[in-house]
Chains A and B, each alone.
Chain A
Amino acid sequence: MMPRDIGILGYGETRHVKRTERTQFSFFAEAGRKALESAGLDKSDIDGIAVSSFFLAPDNAVTLCEQFGLSVSWAWQFTAGSAGPVAGVIDALHAIDTGRANVVLCLAGDVYSVARHYRLMENFNHSLYNYAAPHGFGGPNGLFGIIQRKYMETYGLERAQLGRIAVAQRQCAMHNENAVFRVPLTLEEYLDARIIADPIRLYDCVLPCAGADAVVLGALDRIDAPKRVRVLSGHERHNHLPEEPCPLSGGWETFRDRMWNEASFGPRDMHFVQAYDDYPIMVAIQLEDLGFCEKGEAGPFLDAHDLTWRGDLPLDTNGGQLSAGQAGAGGGLMSVVEATRQLRREAGGRQVAGCERGVVAGYGMVGYGHGLSASAVVVERGG
């Protein structure tokens, strides 16, 4: 169970940019300063750190403290790709609950780019290096192309149904000044886009970019009630379905009943979904695994809902990674930042009216065929 008197006190994020001269430390510094200001706390309040980044090496959570002049009693560093930052929030809340720290700064991000993406994927882990890269695998695009085709042929999903995700999220991104893509996207443009790894096309893919996200966690009574965001429940799962290279589920289904029970809410009570959108097909699978619809029903479910911030199922209201860009591991924390912004009613032109609670999911660590890690939290407006 999650502690109910501890939660998210503030958030910060940098603009996502395709090219930069700035250092990784600089992006973390900006996101961290903004999060601290949003929480109304002082640098001296921070005594715990959780950091998620693919390119931080040779640095780490502790040397980051040296860079930032922080002395902490708890330091955490991620695993699990972009399921990691959400898991880090869960771990940090437990660390605070058990007295390991009082205020934890969670940071995630990378100075990411298309070129760095290909280099990272070539040697992401042993199984990909040894048994996928020598086949000319195309990185995750090739692997998720297999999963998407398998799903489409198994359940009759059509690309136009997945396109509803990309198009709706682009409408949200037009109200997100930090997003890399802010021009309208039509369903026709989605359907006719350049083929990357058929059936995956250009607008099924995220654009690697540079940026960072941050949240500050601590006792909720440190800030005014309307600014508090409580984490009602949260879980993670790794290597679900061992030895199955291309499953049509992502692992969320292993903990979803427990997560909803602990939150005392269900999917229909959610006012938004901040899903992990490395590909629209994984958003579809995620909605099923989280219990929004039955397995195989994602296509009709997507058709039946308005996925924009004004709709009946607001999805990735910052534009998601598909439109805002993927700042490496920042993609896993960007959704927590957006959920916090929405619940504090600070989302500007894309504000989900009257939202009280939502679900945030992470996913990542692509191994031999698919993402090995899934995570999710249910969050609620404080008070």
Chain B
Amino acid sequence: MADDARYPRPLVDADNRAMLEAWREGRLVLQRCAECGRVASYPRPLCPHCWSERLGFEAASGRGRIVAWSLVHRPNHESFFAEAPIVLAEIALPEGTNVIARVVAEPESVRSGRPVEIVSEPERYPLPTFRLAGEGEG
């Protein structure tokens, strides 16, 4: 087991503070634009779709579906080496955006199209992280 305190961590700034603070409580929130109603893949200082500044954060379902994935045998940062291989996935969220995130799972069980859900372990994972969910729950 790697020393999780050494995982690289996102820098907190005025744009992403609400998202990262929510995650510290184990909740996934997404940035949604009040003007066009669309969601950003990661927090921005303006809506990347319509450039509105009327942005807010809202609770997400915490569920999604794997679009595609890779199995990373050589993570970039040494703090992940002991846990490799790591499942990295593009995940479609029902709120209307796709994100890149880690899926904590046995690699043999991972398939594109499988539903996933948030792992509420913010003390361990620096960013919202997923695990496989039962069919029909995505």
Q: B76, A149: Cβ atoms under 8 Å?
A: no
Min CB distance, B36 to chain A, in Å?
12
User: Who on chain B is nearest to A119 by CB?
Assistant: B76
- The SS class assigned to the A binding surface is helix
Q: A198, B85: Cβ atoms under 8 Å?
A: yes
Residues on B with beta carbons closer than 8 Å to the beta carbon of A121: 76
Q: A129, B11: Cβ atoms under 8 Å?
A: yes
Give A90-131 as 1s and 0s: 1 = Cβ < 8 Å from B's Cβ atoms.
000000000000000000000000000010011000010111
CA distance A138 to B86 in the complex (A): 9
Q: B88, A242: Cβ atoms under 8 Å?
A: no
Q: B11, A142: Cβ atoms under 8 Å?
A: no
Beta-carbon contacts under 8 Å, B32-77 to A: 40-42, 48-49, 67-77
**B101 close to chain A: CB less than 8 A:** yes
Q: A136-B86, A243-B41, A246-B68 are in contact. Are A196 and B73 (CB under 8 A)?
A: yes
Q: A145, B72: Cβ atoms under 8 Å?
A: yes
Give B103-117 as 1s and 0s: 1 = Cβ < 8 Å from A's Cβ atoms.
000000000100000
Give A145-165 as 1s and 0s: 1 = Cβ < 8 Å from B's Cβ atoms.
111111001000000000000
Q: A143-B100, A150-B67, A246-B67 are in contact. Are A133 and B73 (CB under 8 A)?
A: no
Residues on B with beta carbons closer than 8 Å to the beta carbon of A141: 70, 72, 74
CA distance A150 to B90 in the complex (A): 9
Q: Taking beta carbons and an 8 Å cutoff, which residues of B are in contact with A? A: 7-11, 16, 40-42, 48-49, 67-77, 79-80, 83-86, 88-90, 97-102, 112, 125-127, 129
Q: Can you spell out 29 A-B residue pairs with CB atoms less than 8 angstroms apart?
A: A122-B8, A129-B8, A130-B10, A131-B42, A134-B10, A135-B100, A135-B102, A136-B7, A136-B80, A136-B102, A137-B72, A138-B70, A138-B76, A138-B86, A141-B72, A143-B70, A143-B88, A143-B100, A145-B69, A145-B70, A149-B68, A149-B69, A150-B112, A197-B73, A198-B85, A243-B40, A243-B97, A245-B100, A246-B100
Q: Taking beta carbons and an 8 Å cutoff, which residues of A are in contact with B? A: 118, 121-122, 127, 129-139, 141-150, 153, 195-200, 242-246, 368-369
Q: Give the 5 A-B residue pairs with the shortest CB-CB distance, closest first.
A: A145-B70, A150-B68, A136-B80, A138-B72, A134-B126
